Amino acid sequence: MKSASLVVRAVVAGKRINLSQEEAAAKGLSGTFYLRWYEGGKEKWKAVGKDPSSARMAVIRKEQEFKGHAASTIGITLEQAIDTFIHERRASHDSHSVERSRRELQRFAVVSGKTYIREVGRADVYAYWHFYKDRGSAPRTIANRVADLMTFLKASGIVGLLKREEMPKYDEKDVDYYTETNPNELTQFFAACSAEERLAFMFFLYSGCREREVMFACWQDIDFVSRTYTVRPKTDLGFRTKNGKVRLVPLPQILIDALKTYVVMVPQRRLIFVNTEGNAEGHFLYKCKQIAFEAGLNCGYCVNKKLLSCASHPVCSKWSLHKFRRTYATLNLLAGMPITVLQNYIGHSDLETLNRYLAHVSAKSDLAKQMVENMARMIQVQGTVAADVMAETVKV
């Protein structure tokens, strides 16, 4: 049976030496871990970083390749597996999503009560599922959390606990948008904003950007001449674009003019929107709901998981940051923007979501109404014939 081993490559007196983990620990030395194995009679080496947990998981994964199936995870604690998974995610995800993953996996560790990753079983997945269900989480949230857990378990060599058809189900959200049922609601919303709040939510509305794309928008990203906002990663701020891509978003003149005025007031600031401590503003959602509540725009029927009613609290589910993004997409489609162009501006990796928006818009078009009227007239004619036949039958 093929096997792989770990070697610590340390530097002593200017020379590189190879040690086993035990030898390195005994001598108090550290360095880069290398994976060593033999293939076709030849010795192979691969650097696997400086983190011991990550290095150990690299050995397991290599042995998985040798065996052709999930390897044993004997000796790997659940905590070590979580640390390894988080370490790897840092390479491709921003700090916000990485920390969220860590919190959720640590919660799973508490819920499951397991010490070793090999002990995790199907019952633990369902216990985690029920944990969120019991606390009143939405079906979509539960589905996301369980899916994230399965990704972690697969990366840790634990597979086959749930079949695809057993995963949590949820209903797709409505593709509603602001002004759809109340043409004046955004006018009333912005009237209740302070000057800085008005600019921030104008940015959400007129750029169609995600929350963190607005949070980490910098003045250097705004081209006042071409009237564009460049969505780009800021690694030093812990921000990475969702698809790892840089994109340009055109901005209307009304927003450009507002930004020109604002930049004069805060010329030395890197971020456009900051909190009271000068860091990225992270309370846009709370502010959005508070403004809607003060403007009397709550629906009055929502009750959140803390049993607070939106009739008397700023918790209305009708008001969200992502709804500004849906409004941007929907209104641009109504204005005739080609869906593939909109896809680039809004930063979607595929057209599935935008096709739902397009179907929503199309259903309200004059053409759609005319088509269903034509269909109704056809059914009415057939219905009349059927009624005549029945009348004749009754006479008999």
Structure confidence at residue 300 (pLDDT): 93
Structure confidence at residue 159 (pLDDT): 83
In CATH, the number for domain 78-166 is 1.10.150
Entry pTM: 0.69
| Exposure letters 350-366 (e unless 16+ CB within 10 A, then b) | eeebbebbbebbeeeee
Yes or no: say if 347 and 242 are a contact pair by the CB < 8 Å rule. yes
- Order across the sheet with 32-39: list the strands: 15-19, 4-12, 32-39, 42-47
Digits of tens for pLDDT over the chain (396 positions)? 567 888 889 888 888 899 888 888 788 888 888 988 888 778 888 888 887 766 777 777 777 666 654 444 557 889 989 998 898 788 777 788 889 999 999 999 999 999 999 899 999 999 999 999 998 888 999 999 999 999 999 888 888 899 989 999 988 777 889 998 899 999 999 999 999 999 999 999 999 999 999 999 999 999 999 999 999 999 889 888 887 789 999 999 999 999 999 999 988 899 999 999 999 999 999 999 999 999 999 999 999 888 899 999 999 999 999 999 999 999 998 888 999 999 999 998 778 888 888 888 788 777 777 887 787 777 665 555 555 666 666 664
Greatest CA span in the chain, whole angstroms?
113
Instruction: Sketch the domain layout of the chain as residue ranges.
Output: 4-67, 78-166, 185-360, 365-396
> CB neighbours of 261 closer than 8 A, spacing ≥ 6?
none
Q: How far apart are CA 259 and CA 281, in angstroms?
A: 17
Structure confidence at residue 97 (pLDDT): 86
pLDDT in tens, 284-299: 999 999 999 999 999 9
Rounded to 10°, the helix 284-294/321-334 angle is 80
Which run of H or of E encompasses 9?
A: strand 4-12
Structure confidence at residue 71 (pLDDT): 46
> CATH topology of 78-166 equal to that of 185-360?
no
Backbone region of residue 389 per phi and psi (left: phi > 0; alpha: psi in -120 to 50; beta: other values): alpha
For the chain, the first-to-last Cα distance in angstroms comes to: 88
Which fold does the domain 185-360 belong to in CATH? hpI Integrase; Chain A (1.10.443)
Structure confidence at residue 173 (pLDDT): 76
Long-range residue pairs from 139-147, CB within 8 A, at least 24 positions apart, any chain: 139/168, 139/169, 139/170, 139/171, 140/170, 140/173, 142/168, 142/170, 143/167, 143/168, 143/169, 143/170, 145/104
> CB neighbours of 301 closer than 8 A, spacing ≥ 6?
310, 311
Q: How far apart are CA 347 and CA 247, in angstroms?
A: 7
Q: How far apart are CA 31 and CA 23, in angstroms?
A: 12
Q: Is the dihedral of CA 277, 283, 284, 286 positive or negative?
A: negative
